[in-house]
Chains A and B, each alone.
Chain A
Amino acid sequence: MDSFLQGLAMVFNVQTMLVIVAAAVFGLFVGAIPGLTATMAVALLVPITFYMDATPAIAAIVATSAMAIFAGDIPGTYLNIPGTPASAAYVGESYRLAQKGRARETLGTNLICSVIGGLFGTMVLVFVSPSLAEMALNFSSFEYFWLALLGLSSSIFIAIGSRVKAFLSLTVGLLLSTVGLDMMSGAPRFTFGVPDLMAGINFIPVMIGMFALNEIMMFYGSRAEARSVPVMAKDSVFANAPGHVKTYWRNILRGSSLGTLIGALPGAGADIAAWIAYALGKSRSKEKEKYGTGHIEGIVDASSANNSGISGAWVPALVFGIPGDTITAIVIGVLYMKGMNPGPTIFMNGGGQVYALFTVFFVANLIMLPIGYLAIRASKVFILTPRKLLMPVILSFCIVGAFAINNSITDIWIMLIIGLVAFVLARNDFPMAPAILGLVLGGTLENSFMSSMLKSNGDLLAFFERPISAALGALVILIWALPTLIRLFRHWRRPAQTDQTPRSS
């Protein structure tokens, strides 16, 4: 009880509450501007959280990411341009609703669904994480090796697009994780005589390069500026929203649970959760024909799924130190910096800090209601902010943010090189999430493998001798074999179907 009250006190103080409000406004601004993602918002925020205490730092990240995901719906509704990739799934639906003069109603429903989705994901985080952590306490290096490999494997197999490109993107991240002194032998690897690289590559400049500099370069390369005229709106924000929530409560529940589950899978974030929830909602709907014409049901599933995905991604991040998405990949680094090492012990030794973390999630999601309401009323400010003025400002923040981590010019060079590599890869449809997961999990994968090999005297079969380790190993092998199995299954079904066709005719 003392820890609980201590946790509440860590959140409900002037400093942390001000940080939450400021971070929510920042997330709102970044999320509402097309081309700027929630991950980019968090990556830009990290250098500032570096100088905060642990609770406000985490609170800032949670509030920013939750708000940015909702705010992505604002330009989607008014301009038909999704503010973040997580809003892309239902942008057509919300824009058509806006054209019918229901923009504020759509955004009001979106906001309520986002809050419910976020709170649902938080409830799962609160109730599932401690039990999972108890189980994870028995994990040794063998289990952690498989968990890391599971995370990396699913980041390839879940990725949208080419699996080969996802795999190659992963190798880039893994390669970056090997830079620095080897943990076992102390031998320097890929340091090229640069002293700053001995401790390894700090992932914050990498994140800024990958998600912010890359976007800036894309913007200047595309010559695109949002010139669409926004749809006018005079309707009420919340008048019809409760009715929609009541009508579609099953959709919200389904979207929230699906989003939490997908968010918890490494490599799959809010955007994939939204796409799958939208597709599932459509296939289960009684009014399928209305989808694509501006149907409110089309947005409730996905808008609750993307926000619950944000909270769901924290479950593996906190319990195992395995990030669920790119945002929690950043968070893991921040947790280490703040001395809150992610893993099962965080729930045992964390004390009030863990309760503070849970409280932050509730507060950050609930605060979305008033701030989101004001944002919907003042949408024009966000959607008409010219990117030609904003992108140069972001570039300055990138430079200073990368430098601020270690006060080192080397980090600016790292950001620049990674930004260039990410630009080339992203322009050719390479997904970025596997690279980030590779960077974050590469160390865990290698260290747990080396420790296991030392324990077992080099016997590889030891990875299958412990029951949980064997189960996780089998799961990894199943994930690898799944595409081949699906292909074989389709191949097997096709001749069977063609055999049946002549008979029926």
Chain B
Amino acid sequence: MRDFLLGLAFVIGGGVVIAVAQTYPTMPALQYGPSLFPSLIGGGMVIGGLVLALTRIGQLRIAFAGPRSQTPRYDYRGLLISLLPCALIVFYILASEWLGAPLCMALSMLILMLLRGARPWLSLVVSLVVAAAIYLLFSRYLLIPLPEGTLLSQILP
């Protein structure tokens, strides 16, 4: 089922790529313009996606024909939990300018550690120490301008 849907997604994606590629300007001196490769790639996505979807139609029929109890239940809770690291990255992107990189990292690490049942005091210590260490390493030694955070810069002297 998932392969069938992914095949369809590739077909749609490939179609969009081809459509976007057609808008690229053509150069009079060149026989092949900047749209050639994206169009070929889009074509490959459409063909590959079609093959993947069509080869899974048989399995799809069996899955729909069989009793509902036989189809394995999808682990939606696991899927949602696996998206939490992504949500925390978005949190970092949106909040780091205000809260600062060390605090955002420490908070993200603490949440993820507690989620998997790590001891609270250990999680707190590890996340604070690691966040401070990463900030010092990248910001002070490698001179990466990690956001310090307006909140901390207002509080600290």
Contact with B along A218-229 (1 / 0, CB 8 A): 101111010000
A446–B39 alpha-carbon span in the complex (Å): 12
A136 at the interface (CB under 8 A from B): no
A486–B123 alpha-carbon span in the complex (Å): 56
B41 at the interface (CB under 8 A from A): yes
Question: Would you list which residues of chain B between 16 and 71 have a CB under 8 Å from chain A?
Answer: 17, 20-21, 24-25, 27, 30-34, 37-38, 41, 44-45, 48-49, 51-52, 55
Describe A's contact surface by its main secondary structure: helix
Chain B residue contacts of A380, Cβ below 8 A: none
B112 at the interface (CB under 8 A from A): yes
Smallest CB separation, B31 vs chain A (Å) = 4
Smallest CB separation, A203 vs chain B (Å) = 17
Known: A221-B81, A416-B90. A396 touches B113 (CB 8 A): no
Please state if A416 and B38 are interface contacts (CB–CB under 8 Å).
no
Question: Which partner residue on chain B sits nearest A429 by CB separation?
Answer: B3
What interface size band does chain A fall in? Answer: 35 or more
Question: Would you list which residues of chain B between 74 and 101 have a CB under 8 Å from chain A?
Answer: 75, 78-79, 81-86, 88-90, 92-93, 101
Please state if B82 and A221 are interface contacts (CB–CB under 8 Å).
yes
Please state if A400 and B146 are interface contacts (CB–CB under 8 Å).
yes
A168 at the interface (CB under 8 A from B): yes
Please state if B109 and A396 are interface contacts (CB–CB under 8 Å).
yes
Please state if A428 and B3 are interface contacts (CB–CB under 8 Å).
yes
Please state if A412 and B93 are interface contacts (CB–CB under 8 Å).
yes
Describe B's contact surface by its main secondary structure: helix
What interface size band does chain B fall in? Answer: 35 or more
Please state if B37 and A178 are interface contacts (CB–CB under 8 Å).
yes
Please state if A419 and B86 are interface contacts (CB–CB under 8 Å).
yes
Contact with A along B108-147 (1 / 0, CB 8 A): 1110110111100011001100110010001000111110
Please state if B144 and A171 are interface contacts (CB–CB under 8 Å).
no
Select B109's contact among A168, A393, A420, beta carbons within 8 Å. Answer: A393
Point out residues on A near B: beta carbons under 8 Å.
48, 51, 162, 164-165, 167-168, 170-171, 174-175, 178, 182, 184-185, 187, 189-190, 213, 216-218, 220-223, 225, 386, 388-389, 391-393, 395-400, 403-404, 407, 409, 412-413, 415-416, 419-420, 423-425, 428, 442, 445-446, 449-450, 453-454, 458
Point out residues on B near A: beta carbons under 8 Å.
2-3, 6, 10, 14, 17, 20-21, 24-25, 27, 30-34, 37-38, 41, 44-45, 48-49, 51-52, 55, 75, 78-79, 81-86, 88-90, 92-93, 101, 105, 108-110, 112-113, 115-118, 122-123, 126-127, 130-131, 134, 138, 142-146
Q: Give 5 closest A-B pairs by Cβ, nearest first.
A: A221-B82, A388-B116, A182-B34, A392-B112, A392-B109
